[in-house]
Amino acid sequence: MKIVAVCGMGIGTSVLLKMNTEKALRQMGADADADVEAADIGTARGAARTANLVLTSAELVDEIGAVPAQVIVIDNFTDVAEITEKLRPVIEN
Amino acid sequence: MEWLVVVLEFIGQQILNVPAYLIGLITAIGLMALKRPSGKVIGGGLKAAMGFLILGAGAGVVTASLTPLGDLILSVTGAQGVIPTNEVITAIASEEYGATSAYVLVLGFLVMLVFARFTPLKYIFLTGHHMVFMALLLSVVLTVGFGEELSWLVVIVGALLLGVIMVVMPAFAQPWMKKITGDDTIAMGHFGTAGYIAAGAAGQITGRRSRSTEEIKFPQGLSFLRDSMVATALSMVLIYMVFAIWGLIAQPEQAMEILGGDDAGATIMAGFAQALQFGVGVAVILYGVRTVLGELVPAFQGIAEKVVPGARPALDIPIVFPYAPNGVLIGFLTSFAGGLVTLGVIAIWLNPALGLALILPGMVPHFFTGGGAGVFGNATGGRIGAAVGGFVNGVIITILPAVLLLVLGELGFSNSTFGDADFGWYGTLVGMSVMGPTGVGVLLSILLATVLVIAASVFQVRVVNRGWIPGAKRDAFLAEKEAAEA
């Protein structure tokens, strides 16, 4: 499974989101077959074509628009519990 | 024993002296320390090394597009024109200083952990790219001061200075961060902090009765600037067009020769193409930075969490954007205005008088640091605070990079420099400290580090921990007014 973590520049907050997503996946024991990548808003649409899941903030959702991957809004990038909770339904399917 | 010397020399020269391999090794070691599976260790290390090589490839593209612009500006204005872009100057400088700065980065991170563990400054700076930029900046100014032979000294002093600034700046910004976020769980880990604090203070003075920016309804029209590829290309096209047209009017022959066009139309389009090339180069560099950091930062963070449990993470500036999206837009616009006004002041007065370079406004630094300044200004002074705070930030990030250029040595002529406020003042202070004899330089650097740690610790204990709230009077005024209206 490929997951893309998106922020404006793709080097600061998205790396943070990537780390916390990996942590959440490890806690669920689902890190073996998941690959998390950080991306900026410009390349996110391209990256989302081959991904299963896009994680981003509420403000950037409209910029990403309609993509084949499922888009999930994360309100607090530092909150592993929130990420876990939002990822669980997707992982368990 | 001769074979041992040969082996050590090989490792030293062919592996540990090549920045890309060094970064790859550091990442791999970090991932091993976190007990990640071997596949992730190999993949992570290799990706980090390749990311660093991508950085170099992008630097070539950017330099090729900056050179004609620099020549053009020099030809029409007689002064050096510089576009501060951290990624660009880092990519250019890492060719020469990459290995030194990689050691500064790793040791500096350890120094930060020691300070976070044993002083009141419980912050873990996690903004990987700013760590990398600061490590490189310190390597450059210290090497210019101490000389290339003393690279071991550059590493030790650089690591101390890097570790210090990474715990000191979040502490100074924490009262405002508490005000903005409403709790004490995250800190500001971005080297534009001097600009944010100035914006917060300026906002408090000017916006005593101003309401929050978030009560304004704003069009979504400027949000496309969040896309850094668009923002970079757009600002570069503007800058290139201004100087291409100016050149064609003032010195048509030189302008045509520099840009390589046969007539006016071809010259303009050649400038346009160069501007887009700059955007291409920056996109390549960003891809490289992202690839390196995506592997390196998790390795660092995992280690930090084990050493200093419970410390506040100091994070990148966009973390505060959701708290005041309108403040971000206002701050960006006024910061850009502040940059333009200051550019005018430099061109008319400071360049002829002091030889300061012309710092051209880049959209990306003005968007991110101006936006951050808008959020800080809004927290203490509402709409007026956000506008004034952004403007103050714009002035700061135009003056400081010009001053910083004076201590960068040869690198000062590469038409780019470090953009954010803290790079400016910290780099300049360190650069001036090490200008004299080496011994004095080391002493002054240690003194600077000691003063900063003591000042920040006192600030943390006396101000942050006692719960000082910036702009409390305005909050009381607004609450009273609201109560009166209700």
Strand pairing partners for B417? Answer: B84
B215-220, long-range: CB < 8 A, 24+ apart: B216/B326, B216/B383, B218/B325, B218/B326, B218/B329, B220/A62
pLDDT at residue A56 in the model: 92
Distance from chain centroid for Cα B296: 18
Q: Stretch B162-191: mean pLDDT, rounded?
A: 93
Q: Give the model's confidence band at B219: pLDDT under 50 very low, under 70 low, under 90 confident, else very high.
A: low
B226 touches chain A (CB under 8 A): yes
% of chain B with per-residue pLDDT over 90: 49
B230 touches chain A (CB under 8 A): yes
A42 touches chain B (CB under 8 A): yes
The answer for A 4-23 residues in CB contact with B (under 8 A) is 7-13, 15-16, 18-19, 22
* Higher pLDDT, residue B404 or B185: B404
The answer to whether the CB atoms of A38 and B293 lie below 8 A apart is yes
Q: Stretch B215-219: mean pLDDT, rounded?
A: 72
pLDDT at residue B172 in the model: 96
The answer to whether the CB atoms of B126 and A42 lie below 8 A apart is no
The answer to whether the CB atoms of B325 and A40 lie below 8 A apart is no
Distance, CA of B230 to CA of A8 (rounded, Å): 11
A41 touches chain B (CB under 8 A): yes
pLDDT at residue B411 in the model: 81
Chain B positions in Cβ-Cβ contact with residue A16 (cut-off 8 Å):
126, 297, 315-316, 319
Q: Stretch B344-360: mean pLDDT, rounded?
A: 88
- Out of A10, A22, A58, name the one closest to residue B286 (CB): A10
Q: Stretch B99-113: mean pLDDT, rounded?
A: 93
pLDDT at residue B412 in the model: 79
Please spell the DSSP secondary structure of A36-81, one letter per residue. Answer: EEEEEHHHHHHHHHS-SEEEE-TTTHHHH-S-SSEEEE-S-TT-HH
pLDDT digits (tens, 9 = 90+) for B456-486: 999 999 999 998 989 888 888 888 888 888 7
pLDDT at residue B196 in the model: 97
Which of A39-43, B101-105, B184-188 is most confident? B101-105
Q: pLDDT at residue B113 above 70?
A: yes
CA distance A93 to chain B (A): 25
Q: Give the model's confidence band at B424: pLDDT under 50 very low, under 70 low, under 90 confident, else very high.
A: very high
pLDDT at residue B465 in the model: 92
Q: Which has the minimum average pLDDT: B42-56, B228-242, B395-409?
A: B228-242
Q: Stretch B218-234: mean pLDDT, rounded?
A: 73
The side-by-side arrangement of strands in the sheet containing B358-359 is: B358-359, B81-84, B416-417
Distance, CA of B269 to CA of A43 (rounded, Å): 26
The answer to whether the beta carbons of residues B94 and B101 sit under 8 Å apart is: yes
CA distance B221 to chain A (A): 12
pLDDT at residue B205 in the model: 94
Q: Which residue of A has its CA nearest to B221?
A: A63
The answer for B 342-371 residues in CB contact with A (under 8 A) is 364, 368
The answer to whether the CB atoms of A12 and B283 lie below 8 A apart is no
The side-by-side arrangement of strands in the sheet containing B123-125 is: B123-125, B312-315, B187-188
Q: Which residue of B has its CA nearest to A59?
A: B322
Q: Stretch B108-135: mean pLDDT, rounded?
A: 93
Q: Which has the minimum average pLDDT: B69-78, B94-103, B390-399?
A: B69-78
Strand pairing partners for A54? Answer: A4, A71
Distance, CA of B319 to CA of B93 (rounded, Å): 28
Determine the residue among B295, B316, B328, B420 to mutate to test chain A binding: the one whose Cβ has the most chain A Cβ atoms within 10 Å: B316
- Out of B186, B226, B287, name the one closest to residue A8 (CB): B226
pLDDT at residue B215 in the model: 82
Number of helices (H), then strands (E), in chain B: 16, 6
Q: Which has the minimum average pLDDT: A65-69, B197-201, B333-337, B441-445?
A: A65-69
% of chain B with per-residue pLDDT over 70: 98
B311 touches chain A (CB under 8 A): no
> What are phi and psi for residue B308, nearest 5 degrees?
-125, 75
Chain A positions in Cβ-Cβ contact with residue B287 (cut-off 8 Å):
43
Chain B positions in Cβ-Cβ contact with residue A79 (cut-off 8 Å):
none
Q: Which has the minimum average pLDDT: B82-86, B152-156, B278-282, B363-367?
A: B363-367
Q: Which residue of B has its CA nearest to A9?
A: B228
pLDDT at residue B226 in the model: 67
Q: Which has the minimum average pLDDT: B23-27, B217-221, B384-388, B470-474?
A: B217-221
pLDDT at residue B223 in the model: 67
Chain A positions in Cβ-Cβ contact with residue B419 (cut-off 8 Å):
none
Q: Give the model's confidence band at B218: pLDDT under 50 very low, under 70 low, under 90 confident, else very high.
A: low
CA distance A89 to chain B (A): 25
Q: What is the mean pLDDT of chain B?
A: 90
A81 touches chain B (CB under 8 A): no
Strand pairing partners for A5? Answer: A38, A55
Task: For this complex, say whether ipTM is above 0.85.
Answer: no
Tokens of B104: 């500064």
pLDDT at residue B145 in the model: 93
- Out of B126, B226, B294, name the one closest to residue A63 (CB): B226
CA distance B11 to chain A (A): 31
Distance, CA of B398 to CA of B380 (rounded, Å): 24
The interaxial angle of helices B128-146 and B264-307, nearest 10 deg, is 100
What pTM does this model have? 0.86
Q: Stretch B47-59: mean pLDDT, rounded?
A: 89
Q: Stretch B307-327: mean pLDDT, rounded?
A: 85
Nearest alpha carbon to residue B284 among B13, B122, B52: B52
Q: Stretch B10-17: mean pLDDT, rounded?
A: 83
- Out of A13, A39, A42, name the one closest to residue B316 (CB): A13
Q: Which residue of A has its CA nearest to B365?
A: A9
Determine the residue among A2, A16, A62, A63 to mutate to test chain B binding: the one whose Cβ has the most chain B Cβ atoms within 10 Å: A16
* Higher pLDDT, residue B396 or B207: B396
Residues of chain A with pLDDT under 50: none
The answer to whether the beta carbons of residues A21 and A12 sit under 8 Å apart is: no
pLDDT at residue B222 in the model: 67
Q: Stretch B157-171: mean pLDDT, rounded?
A: 97
pLDDT at residue B464 in the model: 92
Q: Which residue of B has its CA nearest to A34?
A: B40
Q: pLDDT at residue B415 above 90?
A: no
B289 touches chain A (CB under 8 A): yes
Q: Give the model's confidence band at B323: pLDDT under 50 very low, under 70 low, under 90 confident, else very high.
A: confident
Q: Stretch B413-426: mean pLDDT, rounded?
A: 91
Chain A positions in Cβ-Cβ contact with residue B317 (cut-off 8 Å):
12
* Higher pLDDT, residue B338 or B80: B338
